[in-house]
Amino acid sequence: MNNIVLFTLTLICWSPTWYLIKFQLGYVDPLISVFYRFILAAFIIFTFLIIKKKNLKFSLNHHLWFLIFGFCLYSINYVFFYLSNSYLISAFPAIVFSTSVIMNILGEWFYFKKKPTGKTLLGALIGMIGIFIIFNDEILGFTFANNRHIGLFFALIATLGASSGNMVHQRNLNHKFPLVESVAYAMLYGSLITLIITQINQTPILFEYTFNYIASLLYLSVFGSVFAFLLYLKLLGNIGAGRSSYVGVLMPVIALLISTVFENLQWQLDLIIGLPFLLIGAILVIHQKIKIIS
């Protein structure tokens, strides 16, 4: 499967999740919903691995890095994004997440000495300009009313958690950790960490027996977690964390389309002007080689 296909499928699987998270909020505490999402995703992947008779025995050092990976990417990341969605329309946390492309490029440069080319940096800059053009009303019109600043702060913490998780996964790949097994254990540990947090806070473990809650949970677990992360992390292994995170730059556009349809968000000319910037940036970013600093 080539990188363009991986990129496209990841984008298709992930983009609706920003809106579907809304159906996880309400009767069930957001942290409990995060736990349900990733414990179910982990169960699905482990079932696949057992059927395929894959090796599930790893050293203590492996499990330590699985744990760190899960804490960053499948616990803290999603706990704060779910909380952010309580304060903001679904497209806005997706806008904040688009900054992960910058965090990942800098993280790779700092931790792994992977220097991006000028075209990679230019592509990322062009993409961010596209994001600003498309979301200029939301960005320039941002206010601190209705505690929206809290939602923004939570989204930034979540994005930092996601970027840190990408760096840990990059480190694990460098040490020949298997992809699917890593994701399975990381999701398991991440979900259990979230559960522990809920019990420290004495959060009741509830479940909402409605079509919207169950259907959205199934999509988030199967397509938004199992498929999306396996595709994305495979892409990360192919082209690096910095360039693969450009998924997060294009994702807000689809999230915005969904918000427009279901949350009555109004915009018109912005997309026509901004979308070409995003597409040009994507082409520049995905097709670049990475220079290793000696």
Q: What SS3 class is residue 249?
A: helix
Containing 116, the helix (H) or strand (E) segment is strand 114-116
Give the dihedral of Cα atoms 266, 268, 273, 278; nearest 10 deg.
Answer: 50
Among 13-22, 148-157, 165-174, 179-188, top mean pLDDT goes to: 179-188
Q: In terms of Cα–Cα distance, which of 262, 77, 90 is closest to 163?
A: 77
Residue 88 identity (one-letter amino acid) = L
Res 19: pLDDT: 82
> pLDDT by residue (tens digit) across 111-152?
888 777 787 788 878 878 887 887 676 677 766 666 777 888
For residue 167, how many C-alpha atoms fall within 13 Å in the half-sphere facing its CB? 22
Res 236: pLDDT: 84
What does 25-73 look like in DSSP terms, one character per residue?
SSSS-HHHHHHHHHHHHHHHHHHHHHHTT------HHHHHHHHHHHHII
Q: What is the mean pLDDT of the chain?
A: 84
Res 203: pLDDT: 92
Give the integer Cα–Cα distance in Å for 274 and 250: 11
In sequence order, what are the residues at sequence separation of 6 or more whose Cβ sits closer than 8 angstroms to the Cβ of residue 58? 66, 181, 185
Q: Which two tokens stand for residue 41?
A: 């995703």
Residue 234 identity (one-letter amino acid) = K
* Token pair 């904040």 in the structure block, residue: 96
Q: Which two tokens stand for residue 182?
A: 């890593």
Predicted TM-score (pTM) of this structure: 0.79
Q: Place 107 in a pLDDT band, splitting at 50, 70 and 90.
A: confident
Residue 201 identity (one-letter amino acid) = N
Res 287: pLDDT: 59
Q: Which two tokens stand for residue 129?
A: 């300009």
Q: What SS3 class is residue 225?
A: helix
Res 268: pLDDT: 65
Q: Place 3 in a pLDDT band, splitting at 50, 70 and 90.
A: confident
Q: Place 294 in a pLDDT band, splitting at 50, 70 and 90.
A: very low
Q: Place 50 in a pLDDT band, splitting at 50, 70 and 90.
A: very high
Res 135: pLDDT: 67
Q: Which two tokens stand for residue 96?
A: 């904040």
Of 78-82, 176-180, 242-246, minimum mean pLDDT range = 242-246
Res 1: pLDDT: 66
> pLDDT by residue (tens digit) across 251-293?
767 777 777 777 666 666 776 787 788 778 767 766 554 443 3
